[in-house]
Structure 1
């Protein structure tokens, strides 16, 4: 059944891209809590709609807080070389939304926007995070039958630069920059100044694990700016 679903998705994508230069711009947003806390309608959607036109934009977001990258990357291997029994379930959920959103549409570009890594920093997966993130990007590109997938990575913030609470915090940050610098059509976005201020619970925080209310607004704009720049290259 999984193979059939993938074949159907590839067929849909092939038809969607058949129009060449014509079509809409698809933005796929996913990750854990800092993506979950981002409301695209506040700053991201207005920015891309202003740039490309409201009728030329499709935005799909699916995120879940506290989740490791193995819930998206199906070929994930732990630092000891073992493979978890279950991987990729959140990726499948995301792609169901993507599939429904692009049904009958023609696409001009696809941009994948990723905000995740905190859980892997906590679980000491820093040494395999770059390989996993690169693999996730390649997995999506293969499923969409794309050679020119745009990839925007939100680098996790400066929450634990001493690696005291999350032992691989700086390793994951470094891995995200490494992947952005090595993958075609990829960039990373700085989040270090977005996690201080009033949060959604009404508390004034500083260098928090999660972004402030204003931080999420700015993050959406930065994601949009990075995506627009990649599309226009």
Structure 2
């Protein structure tokens, strides 16, 4: 019996070591979540479809039949990154900017799970069902891509990704549907804390980077929410806020234009690059 236990223990150690050795420490992975601006507003100019550096990868969180992508598999990060009907997002330019600045032995991967039009409550497992109970049919339609549980899908994909690389940060762009909600930072903290726990991550190793919504200088309809978003580091010490000032938007004054997404995504990348440099 003792021999059997020792053998099983040895096998477990060997398998564990093999699993660790399969993880690429030079593959930096980022979780991305939020609402429509993170999901990607429909419309991708031909010039933005590629070529994309193959060092920038996306883990498909849903099936993309038109693009030959299967959920749970890595692909070169050609937009859209979240789901088939979506468009460009800050995540596109975040990843492109990172691989352009990082050494050539580094790769970047993103997982984009976002639901257009949703409040932050959809990503909290304690409020999700009540929120969906009163949600309109169109939101149910979008959420169905993630079996109406986008948080669970983000965790599922995060665990898969951890077999290949290391989660280095979490990107958030959400707030339009929670405009004026003073409790928003606390709600974000709950989700951030849950992600860290469910993926066995440490806050000091995995910062949260949140972007502002369309700013007042672009006549953003939800620009007042930026005052609340800017307070996020007061609630989450490892949070950082990316300004949207000067980022062009579309005619609806809710979504950024491709130029705006590029500016915003590169600002996300600048924050992350600085943090990576500090951690070395």
Q: Considering the TM-score relative to the shorter chain, is it more than 0.5?
A: yes
* Alignment of structure 1 residues 61-210 onto 2, 5 Å: 61-76=112-127, 84=130, 89-102=149-162, 104-107=163-166, 109-121=167-179, 126-147=181-202, 148=204, 149-158=206-215, 170=224, 172-196=225-249, 199=250, 205=251, 208-210=253-255
Provide the rounded CA distance (Å) in 2 between the counterparts of 1:76 and 1:31: 16
> Cα distance 1:89–1:54, how it changes in 2: closer, same or farther (>3 A)?
farther
Asked if the contact 2:99–2:108 (Cα under 8 Å) also holds between the matched residues in 1, the reply is yes
Preserved CA contact (<8 Å) 1:23 1:105? no
Offset of residue 57 of structure 1: 2.1
Aligned pair partner of 1:221 in 227, 250, 266: 266
Q: Deviations over 1:25-78 (max 9, x none)?
A: 21111111111223467522222123144653222112121011011122449x
Tell me the distance in 1 between the aligned counterparts of 2:217 and 2:21. Answer: 42
2-side partners of 1:212 and 1:30: how far apart? 19
Q: Are the aligned partners of 2:176 and 2:213 in contact in 1 as well (CA < 8 Å)?
A: yes
Match of 2:73 in 1: none
Q: CA deviation at 1:23?
A: 4.3
Q: Distance in 2 between matches of 1:224 and 1:135?
A: 24
Alignment partners' CA distance in 1, 2:215 and 2:260: 13
Contact 2:217 2:245 in 1 (8 A): no
Query: Larger radius of gyration, structure 1 or 2?
Result: 2
**1:202 maps to which residue?**
none
> Alpha-carbon deviation of 1:139?
1.3
CA 59–140 in structure 1, closer or farther in 2 if over 3 Å, else same = same
Deviation for aligned residue 1:181: 4.0
Cα distance between partner residues in 1 of 2:173 and 2:274: 18
TM-score by length of 2: 0.59
1:158 CA displacement: 2.4
**Contact 2:218–2:248 at 8 Å: present in 1 too?**
no
Structure 1 SS opposite 2:33: strand
Question: 1:16 and 1:156, CA in 2 relative to 1: closer, same or farther beyond 3 A?
Answer: farther
Measured in 2, the distance between the counterparts of 1:46 and 1:75 equals 35
Q: Is the 8 A contact 1:152 1:189 kept in 2?
A: yes
The count of corresponding residues between Structure 1 and Structure 2 is 197
Structure 1 residues 17 and 69: alpha-carbon distance in aligned structure 2, compared to 1, 3 A threshold = farther
- Give unpaired runs (5+ residues) of structure 2: 1-15, 41-87, 134-147
TM-superposed CA distance for 1:106, in Å, is: 4.2
Aligned Cα RMSD in Å?
3.5
